[in-house]
Every structure is written in structure tokens, then in C-alpha cells.
Structure 1
Amino acid sequence: MLDATLSTTGAQGRRHYDGEFILEVDGVRKEFPGVVALDNVQLKIRPGSVHALMGENGAGKSTLMKIIAGVYNPDRGEVRFAGEKLVIRTPIDALNCGIAMIHQELNLMNTMTVAENVWIRREPKGAFGLIDHARMGTMTAELFASLNIHLDPLAIVGDLTVAQKQMIEIAKAVSYNSDVLIMDEPTSAITETEVEHLFAIIRDLRARGVGIVYITHKMNEIFEIADELTVFRDGKYISTVPASEVTRDDIIRMMVGREITEMFPKVDCPIGDVILDVQNLSLPGVFDNISFKLRKGEILGVAGLVGSGRSNVAEALFGVHPAETGDIWIDGEHVVMTSPQVAMDHGLAFLTEDRKETGCFLVLDCLENMQMALITRDKVNGAGFVQQAEVTRLVQEYSAKLRVKTPNLAERVENLSGGNQQKLLIARWLLTNPRILILDEPTRGIDVGAKSEIHRLITALAGQGVAVLMISSELPEVLGMSDRIMVMHEGRVSGFLDRAEATQVRVMELAAK
């Protein structure tokens, strides 16, 4: 038996191992209150390979990875590392043994620098045992140079974008020089350019003999980067197959037990009058001179590379970080968007890109999370009391409509999978019956079945006259769902494309303009 607390292999370098599998999971079971998250699952990872782990939200993928990484302890079964049974009591144990994980939800300290986040608990020490910040900055710069990451080691993490934070997490995990690297949705918040960058890093690690577990809902990534794939469904093991021997439809059938024939169910909806008119919106140093019109029933896609200002414009429209100059008209009325409450009062709803930091209240239950925006709007009677019976009925209705997988509405949101947290947030805003719906990465971390359902729901809302502003880093989603596409580059609008003329090449030309 290998006691991870006694090993320092991960910190010193990779172990030399000639067996067929570097990591083996056998008969693992894990229960949470009211939920069997894993039921007798298995997984075998070869050194020098990329093994994709697939399944719908709630299938148990992240739960198993957290067991391997020392976050959870299994109720039954065992994990073997380099042929020996592994006892992992904490995440530090896993790192010491040679297992690193990039979590789906970012785990960085926003008030600390990039370098401090990368080397936390491993800071180089100088005289008198004090942290050598100069050396730590140099180490970070060298690490980033080897990975072709262009970030300032002294930057404060809280000032960076979600995509930049994701690259820090990747660099931090690579810095452990581990035998096994787990990547849980590593491309959920980065654009195609950054995805290619990540794949180059993965190929290099694979060539060095690292076993990589890769969790994603993006089918195209599987066929580009994976050697093998394993499918879970409802906490159970389904199958392991070489990636080269299956098709996209084969994977979907294994994942959901049914066929999904239309990923982007876009239909032509009647497009009405202008409901949102934005003119010369600017926030110095962030975005400049943003102008566009959004009509009732229209889906306006917003594309652009990381740092283009897409999410910042959305936050300004919703009053989170108001613009300093420019004008916003809603239904012909000039509105000074000073706060989210002003935006909600005018019929706006905003799904943010980071569900953990700015979306979910993780320690509250599903009902409390979903009803949050609704009771702020109008489900309060004249005496100021919440109409709880009606609110609960509506929450249950939308929870069922979006297939939020939870034992009941009293379940704490932190116990839900990332994808189910995302669906819960979408339901929260749909409950307010918005006239203008701003969606920032609406299908981030959502499985293929739920993604199709959300696309269908967005199309249905447009058909009812809701105006949709949809930001996405997935070009197929932008192209498949949008009536028009607004492309941004370095804080400015670089062009508009009608649906008929839009292609990936045209979008990327404008995004890199």
C-alpha cells in the first residue's frame, strides 16, 4: 500500500513506471445525502496518453476526480497508483504522490499575485526563512515562458479575466511535474485560440509520459486530443473505447441513452422593433465606443478573443460595472444603468460567465438560489411578504423544465455538479420573464443533452419576442444560434455579420483584426 503522506515524488519529479496503467480505479462507490454519485465505477489511465472521461452533468465524473485528487474519500473500492493501492487523505497527499488536478471551478486567491497563487505552499525561501519574492517571480516567468503563457507574475489575480485565471490554473498544475494530470473542463472559459494553446501543452506533456484525464462536453475536442475515452451515466460505468473507433453519435448514445439529432435548433423567428439601443458606450481602459441595436425576437451573438471586452460590455449593460460615457435606450426610453436593480426594473436579466464567483450562492439551497431574482422583481404582495407557495411552484416548474438534477429543492447548491449549477442559474433568470436576456457563456460546462435543450429554450424565448444577447467562446454555438453576430477586438466592435454570411473564418478575421 502506498501512503501518499509519505511520498514526495510529485515535488521531486516523475516516478519511472513500466506497467500498462499508471492509475487504476476499481469498484469505487460514493454517496451523498440522498444521492448515489458513483456506483461501482472503474477507470484505467495509461502513462503517456490522454484519456477522456465523458458523461452528462451529474454522471459522477467530477466526483471521481475529486476522490483521486483527495478532496473526497470513497465509501467503497480502491485507487491504485503505479500498481500499488493508494491511500489519499487530502489534496496535498495527492500532489505529493504525483497527481495534480485542474478543477472545473477555479480555486485561486483573488487578492494575491499570479506568482503567489502558482507557488502557494511551495514558495522559495531566502535568508531567515522569508519568502524570496524576486526568485518566485523569476520561477513563474520561466514556467510561463515554457508554456508560452503571456501573463505578468506580479499581476493581482482578481484583476484578470476568467480565461486568464484558467491559464494560471493550468500552469500551476503543470508546475507540480506530476505523473497524472486531471483536467476538469479546462476549455470551458477560453476561446479557440487558447484551446489550441492548451492542446500544444497537453501534447508536450503526453510526450513526456504524463497520464492525462480530460473531462469535457465538447465533442470536437475528444477526437482531436484523446487517445481513449470512458463514459459514465448516472454514476455508473458504461464503457471504455479507443477514441479512433467511435463517432460523435456513438458517444452521445452511450452518454444519454438516446440520440440527439439537432444541436442547434435555430428557427427563423419574427424579429420586431428595436428594444435595446446602445450608443457610444465607453469605460476607459476596458472598452470604447460600443454601439449596436438589439430587436425583439433577435438573438445577437457576441464573439471575440479573450480580452476583447465582451463580458465587460455585458456587465455595463446590467449595471454591474456601469459605463462612464455613452447612452442606453430601452423601448425608446433613455436609461442610466447605475445598478443591476435598475436593469431588472427595465426587464433585463444577466447570466454571468462565472457561476461560482458571481452566480451561485453555494451554501444556500436550490430553492433559495432560484427564487433570488424572482422575489426581487414581483412575487411579493402589497404587505411586503413573499408569496412563497407561488414562488415554490414556479421554481419546481422551471427546475423540471431545465432538468436540474437534485434530490430536492432543499439540497445545497454546492453539492450539485457544475452543469446543474449552470442550469439552476438559467432557471433563476427565466423565472423573471425578462424582455432582454443577456447570456454570457450560457452552456459553459453543460453536457451535450442539456446544451441542446438550452439552445431549444433560447430559440423558444426568441420566438416569444425576448431579445437575446448571447456571448460565447464556442464559435459553432455563435454561428448556429445567432441571427446576427457582433465581433469585438480589444474593447471595440470590429464588425457585424448576418447569419447568412457568417463563417468561422470571417468571425476570426474580425476577432483578430
Structure 2
Amino acid sequence: MQPNDSLSQGSPLLTLSGIGKRYAAPVLDGIDLDLRPGQVLALTGENGAGKSTLSKIICGLVDASAGGMMLDGQPYAPASRTQAEGLGIRMVMQELNLIPTLSIAENLFLEKLPRRFGWIDRKKLAEAARAQMEVVGLGELDPWTPVGDLGLGHQQMVEIARNLIGSCRCLILDEPTAMLTNREVELLFSRIERLRAEGVAIIYISHRLEELKRIADRIVVLRDGKLVCNDDIGRYSTEQLVQLMAGELTKVDLDAEHRRIGAPVLRIRGLGRAPVVHPASLALHAGEVLGIAGLIGSGRTELLRLIFGADRAEQGEIFIGDSQEPARIRSPKDAVKAGIAMVTEDRKGQGLLLPQAISVNTSLANLGSVSRGGMLDHAAESSVAQDYVKKLRIRSGSVAQAAGELSGGNQQKVVIARWLYRDCPIMLFDEPTRGIDIGAKSDIYRLFAELAAQGKGLLVVSSDLRELMQICDRIAVMSAGRIADTFSRDDWSQERILAAAFSGYVGRQEAAAAAHVAGNTA
């Protein structure tokens, strides 16, 4: 995509001067920038750099502690998100803002439901919903489907469609492609180009630097709450942008070729729950990182949930260690007692107590170890949390800081810290690096290598195939709810894995052709 120079050279739509924000510690300090109509501004930086906080200030979700803003040359200080949206400033947040029990149609038009004779006009609402979902390429979805029944990728597209209703002068997208398929990404990029041509200014937040270089005119990099770059994105290589973000280039030696793989720590036999997971069997060994690849909706998350007891399996057995007796896992509590930990895909909704302190979230799975005489020892709890904050390089003011005030990457580290403290031999990770910056990813990859060296078994779901090929010893591929194939490091290739991922949906020759195309565009 090329910049629309005729639009982006006009007067600034939005100007920020000296914007600062402080919680327990400074999060933003002296941010100056402007945004012009028809401009796509890439905003990036490590987790905790202040990207989301800056965006929330612009959208009226957070008040600035210092500085001011101008919109069309007039003072701009929205008191709420609703007020900002009324002025055409909209934001699609990384944390979805949908009501899962309501339908797609109701979520899209919740504040403007069409009525007829005092009743909701369901026909008109359905037509409007289909038309709006067509904007993001998903007009075939049933508008009465509850949002909670959709995968996270489709939920993200519903959220994007909702924010494109009505007047939009500035659209902020926070990690919009983290949960999207390649097709959905292309649909989103096409829509961004149309919005740019219409004069809409866009702030695009992402850690996927190849996306930023593809769609943005300008790059803004934040580091430790300060602006370290505001320039033409074409002047920078990926390596230079990484260095600006992190202050240094990060290299991680995973030593995957020399891991010592031991006996099985987990075996599943014919585990299934129709229609999402057909009977599946696999073994996870001590010291092994076993990846699970597949398309969105292939059953990867559902398989992990069956193992962890979050969903009840209809058939099959789970064996722990060398036991010949199947484990009785009917709930996450049973799984934890059996030595299984799970870092969920939805860290905010399922992984953390957001209003609670880092220390509380860290000790939550092992309260007995920080209790004395049946009473919680807050000093011991704080000490444990401080150790993990240091070990995992969690950026925070103190362990008393609420988890909800942390960046996404640092929240993910807090969830991982909880299970490290529990010291489970079997660890399940669902999209562990989704929405996380390069530096935080390196920290987590290094941690995976350390856990494998300690003899733990790691089962990792990821939509990033290159990530799995970097960190895993073996990769199992799910397709249409089945384990289609399993590859070891010495015989996998991106094309073979993608062919297996497509195999449950199309014929063998079509799958190979589709995989070849997907591999060339990945």
C-alpha cells in the first residue's frame, strides 16, 4: 500500500503535546506527535512501552497526567469513550469489548437497535448486521449467532465491524491481526486502504514489523514511555526497528537440537468431544516442547481444554507419567492436582484477577506455600512475587501493582509466574506469545528452553508456524478436529505442515496446492 500524499500532507487532524501518564511509576513521558487525515501511523514498542496507554488517552478511556491534545485545532480532552466516538475517534482494542451472550447483530448495533412499533425490528437488524459483516468479508455468518460461540478470530472481526459503523475520522487498531487468519488479514488490509482513501487517519499498533512496513506511512516507536522514533517507516530495516524498540538486539539460543528427551509425562488416548475434537491420541515426553499447529477452528484450544478438564471429555483417557491407570480429570482443580498447568489464550478473561496485585496473581495456584497456620503470609507472598518479577523481567512499579495496569506481555508473564511457582511437570500453553513484543517473546522462548532442560513437558498451541518450528521438538497438526499428522524436527517443512493443516477441509491435492500458496504468503 502506498501513502495517499494528497490527504496526509494536510493540516493535522490530531496533535499531542507533552502527553504523560503516571500510575505507580511513569508510563508515558512527554509524548509529542501529530496525525493527519489519510495517514497510517504505525505505533510499536516493547510491552510496557506505553502504546496502549497512549491510545486509551486519545480515546477517552484514560486521563493524561500531563500535556494536552488538539482535534482540528481545538482543545480535545474526551471524558469518556462515548464522547470520543461522538467526535469520530474510535478504537478496536486488543481486549475484545463484546457481550458473549448476545448475538452478532445485537453486539454490532447494541446502542442503535432498529425498532418498529416499539419492538426491535429483527428483519431490519439482521439485514444491517449482514451488510456490516460484509464490510469485513464475513457476510455469510448467521447474524443471530451468539458471539461467545465464535472463535476469537471471528470475534475480532465483529469488533472491527462494530467500530466501522457511523462516522469515523480516526481509527486506532491495537494488535488487530493477532487472532486473524491470512484471509482475514487481507480483508482487513483492504478495508484499511479504503479508509485511508476516504481520509480516515489510522493508528496501527502491532509487533509484527512486516505488517507495519507493508501498510504504514510513518513509524512511531516508544521505549520505556518515551518517544524514540517518529519518522518515515521506509528509512528503517526490521533489524533497526527491533534495536529501537529494545535498545539492543536480542538473540536466544534455544539449544533445541541437543535436548534430552525422557519418558512420557502425559499420554492421551482417544480423547474427544464432538464435534470440536475427534478422538485424539498423543504422548508428551519429559524435556520436550511439543507444538500443536492448525488453522483457527481446528480444535487446538479445545484439545488443551479437554486435557486440563476445563471441558468435559465425552470419550478417551489421560495418563500421567508411567501410570497404567487413567487419571480422573473432571475439572481444572483435578488437573492441577495431577501436575498439569495451563496458560490460557485469554489471559484477561481466564488467566488473571485484573484488579488484584501481581503478588496475589502469582501465588494463586499455590496458596498453601505462602500461608502460616491457615492464614495468608503477605510478606512471604510478596517475596515470592518479587523473585518472579526479577526472574521473568516483569515491568511494574511494585508487586502491589494491579495486574490490570500492566501491558499485555507483562500480564502474560504474571500468568506464567503463577504456574512456575506451582512447579507442575506438565505445562500447557495456548498462544503464549500472542500480542507480545519481540523482547518479551525472547524471554518466553528462553524460559521454554529452561523448563525443557529441567525435564518438564511443554505442550504449546500457536498460530505462528515459524514460532513452533523455532521452539519445538515435534509438531502435531490438527485439522477439522483431528490430529492429521505429527512431524519431528528432522522431517518437517512449512509446506508439509500447512498441507496437513488444510487436509481435513479439502482433498489431498487441493490441500497441497493451498499449502503451497499459504507458505508463499506466510
Q: Considering the TM-score relative to the shorter chain, is it more than 0.5?
A: yes
Matched residue, 1:318: 308
Q: Distance in 2 between matches of 1:17 and 1:390?
A: 55
> Deviations for 1:460-495, whole angstroms, at most 9, x for unmatched residues?
111111110001111221111111111111211121
Identify the residue that residue 13 of structure 2 maps to in structure 1.
22
1:374 aligns with 2:366: yes
Q: How is 1:202-221 mapped onto 2 (pairs within 5 angstroms)?
A: 202-221=192-211
Secondary structure of the corresponding residue to residue 144 of structure 1: helix
Instruction: Give the CA deviation at 1:193.
Output: 4.1
Verify the 8 A CA contact 2:382 2:399 in the aligned structure 1. Answer: no
> Partners of 1:306 and 1:392 in 2: how far apart?
39
Which residue of 391, 396, 401 corresponds with 2:391? 401
Moved more, 444-453 or 78-87: 78-87
Q: Which amino acid aligns with 1:341?
A: K
What does 1:66-465 correspond to in 2, within 5 Å? 66-128=56-118, 130-149=119-138, 150-262=140-252, 266-333=256-323, 334-375=326-367, 384-386=374-376, 389-465=379-455
1:478 matched residue in structure 2: 468
User: CA-to-partner distance for each residue in 1:343-376, whole Å, 9 max, x for gaps?
Assistant: 1111111000001111111121111111001226
Q: Which moved more, 1:387-396 or 1:105-114?
A: 387-396
Amino acid at match of 2:137: N
- C-alpha displacement of 1:85: 2.8
Q: Secondary structure at the match of 2:16?
A: strand
Contact 2:359 2:381 in 1 (8 A): no
Give the AA of the match of 1:499.
Answer: R
Does 2:54 correspond to 1:64? yes
Q: Secondary structure at the match of 1:431?
A: helix
Q: TM-score, normalised by structure 1?
A: 0.92
Residue type matched to 1:208 in 2? E
- Whichever residue aligns with residue 340 of structure 1, its letter is P
Look up the SS of the partner of 1:170 in the other structure: helix
1:175-227 residue CA offsets vs partner (Å, 9 max, x unmatched)? 23412110111122334443333223323322333211111122222222222
Superposed CA deviations along residues 245-288 of structure 1, whole A, max 9, x for unmatched, are 10112112211211213486645310111121111111012110
Q: Deviations over 1:30-70 (max 9, x none)?
A: 222x2222111023223223211011111111111111111
TM-aligned CA deviation for residue 100 of structure 1: 0.9
Q: Aligned to 1:420, what secondary structure does the other structure show?
A: helix
SS of structure 2 residue aligned to 1:335: coil
Q: How far apart, CA to CA, are the structure 1 residues paired with 2:492 and 2:185?
A: 21
Q: What amino acid is aligned across from residue 120 of structure 1 in structure 2?
A: L
Q: How many residues were matched structurally? A: 494
The code of the aligned residue for 1:106 comes to L
**What is the alpha-carbon distance in structure 1 between the residues aligned to residue 410 and residue 115 of structure 2?**
43
CA contact (8 A) 2:362 2:418 kept: yes
Give 1:82 shift: 3.0
Q: Return the offset for 1:386.
A: 4.6
DSSP-derived class of the 1:92 partner:
helix
Contiguous gaps of at least 5 residues in structure 2: 1-6, 504-522
SS at match of 1:121: coil
Of stretches 435-444 and 406-415 in structure 1, the one that deviates more from structure 2 is 406-415
Find out whether 1:43 has 2:29 as its counterpart. Answer: no
Per the alignment, in what secondary structure is the counterpart of residue 250 of structure 1? helix
Deviations 1:127-171 (A, max 9, x none): 23x332221111010111232114321111222222221111111
**Helix, strand or coil at the partner of 1:100:** strand
Write the distance in 2 (CA, Å) between the matches of 1:109 and 1:190: 20
Deviation of the 1:454 alpha carbon: 0.8
Q: Please give the alpha-carbon distance, in whole angstroms, between the structure 2 residues aligned to 1:458 and 1:288.
A: 29
- Rounded to whole Å, the distance in 1 between the matches of 2:28 and 2:198 is 32
CA distance in 2, matches of 1:368, 1:355: 15
Residues 393 and 30 of structure 1: CA distance in aligned 2, closer, same or farther (over 3 Å): closer
Distance in 1 (alpha carbons) for counterparts of 2:318 and 2:120: 49
Report deviation, 1:23.
2.2
How far residue 102 of structure 1 moved from its aligned partner, in angstroms, is 0.4
Q: Is the 8 A contact 1:314 1:438 kept in 2?
A: yes
Closer/same/farther in 2, CA of residues 327 and 422 from structure 1, 3 Å limit: same
For residues 165 and 18 of structure 1, the distance between their equivalents in structure 2, rounded to whole angstroms, comes to 35
Distance 2:181 2:467 in 1: 12
Contact 1:280 1:327 in 2 (8 A): yes
The alignment partner of 2:123 has SS state of: helix
CA distance in 1, matches of 2:380, 2:351: 23
Quick one: structure 1 residues 411 and 379, their matched pair in 2 at CA, closer, same or farther if it must change by over 3 Å? closer
- Find the aligned partners of 1:39 and 1:173 in 2 and give their Cα distance: 29
* C-alpha contact (below 8 Å) 1:263/1:451 kept by paired residues: no
What secondary structure does 1:107 align onto? coil
Task: Give secondary structure in 2 for the equivalent of 1:87.
Answer: coil
CA distance in 1, matches of 2:243, 2:8: 36
